[in-house]
Structure 1
Amino acid sequence: MGTFQIRNTLAASVAAAAISTTGCGGGDNNGQVKLPVDPPVGERPERCLEDPLNSGYCLVWADEFSGDAIDPEKWNHEKNCTGGGNNEAQCYVDDEKNSWVANDLLTIKAIREDASGPNRVDDDPNYDPDDTSGNGSYTSARLRSKGLGDWKYGRFEMRAKLPQGQGSWPAFWMLPSEWAYGSWPLSGEIDILEAVNLKVGGEDQIHGTLHYGDIWPGNVYTGEAYRIPGDLNPADDFHTYAVEWEEGEIRWYVDGDHYATQTRDGWFTTAALENPNAPFDQSFHLILNLAVGGDWPANVNDTGIDESAFPQEYQIDYVRVYQCTEDFDTGRGCASSDGEFVHNPGAEPPKTPDQAGDELVIFDGEIHPPYQWYTYTTDGEVDMEIVASSPEGVYGAGDCFCGDVAEISWNTNEGIGFFQSTSSYDLSDYTYIEFDLRVLQEPVYADSPTLTFRADCVYPCSSGDYPLDMPPKNNWRHIQIPILELEQAGLNSKRINTPFVLSPEWGRQLGAVVQVDNVKLIR
């Protein structure tokens, strides 16, 4: 997680009084939101479970946890020991000692006990429920509404009391149901509420965050931290946490106080840069979970996990979903705000390559989105590291070539390294692909070593191979390749996703080390 701006506001009851009558926020002494109850004139829309509120929102889905068991028509358990992608310590299980409904509450309990289970997430095509190769030192639960409750736009609200202690990490959040733009976080993530290590060293913040951008390490997250007014700790009592999500805008609330907003000007997915609303324009589902440990808690207040703090319980009073009757398709027209919130600017979306100017820069000491570095090998590895170029690296004229460069090493005889984007783009207006190249080590077993360059589009089209002479060692050489020659070799330049692929001769690569810089396309 990143560094968040922290803000304190007026007490929830005071803030609620300042909200206009068209808003839907408010609070009582217990922190429970009380939405307006007088329905507008007109018939109830079919999807509404109750008459619409004055705000225009109507209830479309809810779990009040009033029964004696978790409702299988609303929630299913994820069961795995993957560590959540964050080196977390728990296994998620479906066990009544870890999650249950009683006394009008859902309780999720994290317990210190060794466990084993599947080492893949439940949606992985190779997921095996009988797999025991994953391990954890705690058990806990993760419930989701996927396939049972999936929505695009609405108000998503929970009233809960959070656990405390070093290593505790409760969350109320949303993931895409269809992953329309690709794997995490290309299709987005909406964190309605997260908190870590509450009451350790005075920790009392909650966080609301978006995840988007490109696949790791090009992923982006932006959000805000919030402290409940009056020095109240979320682990001491129940409070209400919500987001209102409409086309192009997402707002965060605690006890009716609107504390943060993000808009489409500050989010993006490299899988659809031409779509300003993406990735937050698809159906998402709800998740409730209690993680233990992991990268984030370990870097806040302390390191590791305080075993003496467990077991810990995450208690949820209700979960409710509202949608805006003003416009179900966009979710607009029902927004509530007290006017005192942080507008988080998010991250500026990169231009699509076909929107670039006369130069499309892919790498110049840093990788420019939407491109990232990838490798493919049949065995061994192709490594890329960004390093400072040594002063002895010169062009033929003797000028110093300084700054950061990409150093590529082949510990294999069958591998390639390449810059690739998630989507394909029309680059037919460009005339050349250019880059600077320096050879540090030639392949071990090649008598007359050569290099091969290519640019690829989505299979089955390809550029074919474009052979390059191996330059003399330790001297920089500027390479310029006409796009026209790549097109003649088979490249469809109207849908390029991989404009740079480099490798020594296939089968004779081991030990080769080269540096590249200033990778760009020129109109």
Structure 2
Amino acid sequence: MSTNLFRTSVFSLAMAATACGGGGGANDDGDVGGPIDPPQNERPARCIEDALNSGYCLVWADEFSGSAIDAEKWSHEKNCTGGGNNEAQCYVDAADNSWVADDVLHIKAIREDATGPNLVDDDPNYDPDDVSGSGTYTSARLRTKGLGDWKFGRFEMRAKLPQGQGTWPAFWMLPSDWVYGGWPLSGEIDILEAVNLKVGGEDHVHGTLHFGDSWPGNKYSGERYQLPGGLNPADDFHTYAVEWEEGEIRWYVDGDHYATQTSAGWYTTAALGNSNAPFDQSFHLILNLAVGGNWSANVNDGGIDEGAFPQEMQVDYVRVYQCTEDFDTGKGCGTTDGDFVHNPGVAPPQAPDAEGDELSVFDGAAQAPYQWYTWTASGTVDFQVVDAGGDYGDVGQITYNTNQGIGYFQSAAAYDLSAYTYIEFDLQVLVEPAVAGSASLTFRADCGHPCSSGDYPLDMPALDQWTHFQIPMMELAAGGLNTASVNTPFVLSPAWDNQMGAVLQVDNVRLVK
């Protein structure tokens, strides 16, 4: 939910400018560091209830029939991070914002100034006593992480949604163990979202997947649904669900199957060879009511209507079913009336072409999907293809008109390069940096900021002769490179603060097994 269709992120530029950024960091999704020792997805020993006609059996439920929120099923997130979307609320654990009464869970957003932690609860630097974050509303966000984590099943909620400009209720899922990396590399399943119901004609609910690459390469795909007969989701209780099985996710409202997406239309650049990733790991449930933010505050151009608050999201029950036909894949229990939208999603990017045991990055020209980029603190790093003559022909020539710059070959997506043993290239130095006696080179490979091999020092070779370099992937991995998710296999520069005037030529940049 909080990783919405209009998610924004801020980059910091430094040496890490070569890597994919955004989406990660201290955002709403707990992708900083990920959870520690998450519970493993387990096949249920028995069904709480006998299998339904569909084959699904109930394995977990909260009917909210007690007098308090069940701490063995739900925990409160407490922070004022704005959900990664510039939302206006602080999430708190307060009786005025979330409670159980009359067999219903109430989540209430209230107009009141508040302070609290400015990091998400899973951040290793999270301090519950921190008050550096702030919001102009209070609300609640409950999750089952560590208490209920599942791979595949039917996830269902019966609820009455709030109304008014600035309201944003959601029932959704995030990964419990961020196997493929931070948001959205490990995926997000939005079972239900709605914004600003009963304002400006808003009467739809939305079901969406988030996946792809780190921001700004993140992708989403989904469908919206309108209740029949002109009904509005804010007027009464309705049932919202997804059925998630290996390679397929389906969305339902009141039993009406309205959308399907399959693994042909989702991917994570951290595992492009795995067609089911990232939706092949354990996820947990989240219930929350956000206020404002990059989606709801922008719909109708109305911002937030303070007069509409307080507002409540009321939840009758939440239930989790798993398929008795095949607990391991979730297949065999799907339900449909045949009248639904098959959303094609987004096809994964094409992996780089490899010939035999070799993957070429540059050979007289940049090889798709790689392109040449530069970054400098000031000045320029100029790149041109020139004819070096002799056995080399066209090569890349790099001229440093700066003391703080880098050049690199990068792809828009990250790829699994773990099967390769070396990164190799040929280098000729035409002109050394201004301070020639202490000149050296620095090499690096990146896997999305802040994931990197770190600096790998190289000796500056003799002038005017081609030198072959062979760098073991194992050593780059020891420095921190995730070889299964590399978007920048080649970053080169003379040593920092001693680059001005250097002219280098490179050719035959490749990975070999």
Q: TM-score per shorter chain, which class?
A: 0.7 to 0.9
How has the CA–CA distance of structure 1 residues 297 and 213 changed in structure 2, closer, same or farther, with 3 Å as cutoff?
A: same
Question: Does residue 465 of structure 1 match 2:455?
Answer: no
Q: Post-superposition shift, 1:360?
A: 5.4
- Please identify, of 209-218 and 236-245, the stretch whose mean Cα deviation from structure 2 is larger: 209-218
Q: Deviations over 1:315-339 (max 9, x none)?
A: 1111011110011111110000111
Q: Match for residue 248 of structure 2?
A: 249
Tell me, yes or no, if the aligned pair for 1:150 and 1:283 is still in contact at 8 Å. Answer: yes
Whole-angstrom CA distance in 1 between matches of 2:439 and 2:200: 60
Q: Deviations over 1:462-515 (max 9, x none)?
A: 8653759999xxxxxxxx9967x4469977999584411133432335x9999x
Whole-angstrom CA distance in 1 between matches of 2:166 and 2:372: 33
Write the mapping of 1:85-164 to structure 2, written as runs, cut at 5 A. 85-164=84-163
Whole-angstrom CA distance in 2 between matches of 1:117 and 1:284: 27
Q: Match for residue 335 of structure 2?
A: 336
Q: Match for residue 177 of structure 1?
A: 176
Q: Deviations over 1:41-67 (max 9, x none)?
A: xxxx84201111111001111111111
How has the CA–CA distance of structure 1 residues 104 and 433 changed in structure 2, closer, same or farther, with 3 Å as cutoff?
A: farther
Q: Deviations over 1:5-26 (max 9, x none)?
A: xxxxxxxxxxxxxxxxxxxxxx
1:499 aligned to which of 489, 492, 501: 489
Whole-angstrom CA distance in 2 between matches of 1:167 and 1:196: 7
Whole-angstrom CA distance in 2 between matches of 1:343 and 1:145: 30
Long gaps (5+) in structure 1? 4-44, 376-380, 398-405, 472-479
Tell me, yes or no, if the aligned pair for 1:464 and 1:491 is still in contact at 8 Å. Answer: no
Q: Deviations over 1:108-147 (max 9, x none)?
A: 0111111111111111111110111111111000000111
Write the mapping of 1:313-352 to structure 2, written as runs, cut at 5 A. 313-352=312-351
Whole-angstrom CA distance in 2 between matches of 1:86 and 1:459: 27
State the one-letter code of the partner of 1:500.
Answer: F
Write the mapping of 1:435-514 to structure 2, written as runs, cut at 5 A. 452=441, 454=443, 456=445, 464-465=457-458, 485-486=470-471, 497=486, 498-508=488-498
TM-score (norm. length: structure 2): 0.74
TM-score (norm. length: structure 1): 0.72
- Please identify, of 271-280 and 106-115, the stretch whose mean Cα deviation from structure 2 is larger: 271-280
Q: Deviations over 1:196-244 (max 9, x none)?
A: 1112210111111111112222211111111112121111111110000
Tell me, yes or no, if the aligned pair for 1:454 and 1:501 is still in contact at 8 Å. Answer: yes
Write the mapping of 1:415-434 to structure 2, written as runs, cut at 5 A. 419=410, 421=414, 423-427=416-420
Identity fraction in percent: 63
Whole-angstrom CA distance in 2 between matches of 1:408 and 1:127: 42
Name the count of aligned residue pairs.
449
Question: Does residue 238 of structure 1 match 2:232?
Answer: no
Q: Deviations over 1:331-351 (max 9, x none)?
A: 110000111111111111234
Q: Deviations over 1:132-166 (max 9, x none)?
A: 11111110000001111111110000011111122
Whole-angstrom CA distance in 1 between matches of 2:400 and 2:191: 41
Q: Post-superposition shift, 1:409?
A: 9.8
Long gaps (5+) in structure 2? 7-43, 389-397
How has the CA–CA distance of structure 1 residues 77 and 430 changed in structure 2, closer, same or farther, with 3 Å as cutoff?
A: closer
Tell me, yes or no, if the aligned pair for 1:243 and 1:253 is still in contact at 8 Å. Answer: yes
Whole-angstrom CA distance in 1 between matches of 2:340 and 2:474: 56
How has the CA–CA distance of structure 1 residues 491 and 139 changed in structure 2, closer, same or farther, with 3 Å as cutoff?
A: closer
User: Match of 2:307, SS?
Assistant: helix
Tell me, yes or no, if the aligned pair for 2:240 and 2:253 is still in contact at 8 Å. Answer: yes
State the one-letter code of the partner of 1:505.
Answer: A
User: Match of 2:327, SS?
Assistant: coil
Tell me, yes or no, if the aligned pair for 2:422 and 2:472 is still in contact at 8 Å. Answer: no
Whole-angstrom CA distance in 2 between matches of 1:299 and 1:454: 44
State the one-letter code of the partner of 2:225.
Answer: Y
Whole-angstrom CA distance in 2 between matches of 1:347 and 1:470: 48
Q: Deviations over 1:245-298 (max 9, x none)?
A: 011111000111111111111111122222211111111110000111111123
Write the mapping of 1:194-343 to structure 2, written as runs, cut at 5 A. 194-343=193-342
Whole-angstrom CA distance in 2 between matches of 1:48 and 1:75: 20
Q: Post-superposition shift, 1:451?
A: 8.7
User: Match of 2:299, SS?
Assistant: coil
How has the CA–CA distance of structure 1 residues 251 and 373 changed in structure 2, closer, same or farther, with 3 Å as cutoff?
A: farther
Tell me, yes or no, if the aligned pair for 1:466 and 1:486 is still in contact at 8 Å. Answer: no
RMSD: 4.7
Tell me, yes or no, if the aligned pair for 1:153 and 1:331 is still in contact at 8 Å. Answer: yes
Whole-angstrom CA distance in 1 between matches of 2:59 and 2:497: 60
State the one-letter code of the partner of 1:315.
Answer: Q
State the one-letter code of the partner of 2:489.
Answer: P
How has the CA–CA distance of structure 1 residues 195 and 411 changed in structure 2, closer, same or farther, with 3 Å as cutoff?
A: farther
Q: Match for residue 63 of structure 2?
A: 64
Q: Match for residue 193 of structure 1?
A: 192
State the one-letter code of the partner of 1:425.
Answer: S
User: Match of 1:301, SS?
Assistant: helix
Whole-angstrom CA distance in 1 between matches of 2:227 and 2:457: 61
Q: Deviations over 1:62-107 (max 9, x none)?
A: 1111111111111010000111111111100000100111111111
How has the CA–CA distance of structure 1 residues 467 and 218 changed in structure 2, closer, same or farther, with 3 Å as cutoff?
A: farther
How has the CA–CA distance of structure 1 residues 459 and 224 changed in structure 2, closer, same or farther, with 3 Å as cutoff?
A: closer
How has the CA–CA distance of structure 1 residues 459 and 144 changed in structure 2, closer, same or farther, with 3 Å as cutoff?
A: closer
Tell me, yes or no, if the aligned pair for 1:382 and 1:416 is still in contact at 8 Å. Answer: no
Tell me, yes or no, if the aligned pair for 2:184 and 2:210 is still in contact at 8 Å. Answer: yes
How has the CA–CA distance of structure 1 residues 339 and 221 changed in structure 2, closer, same or farther, with 3 Å as cutoff?
A: same
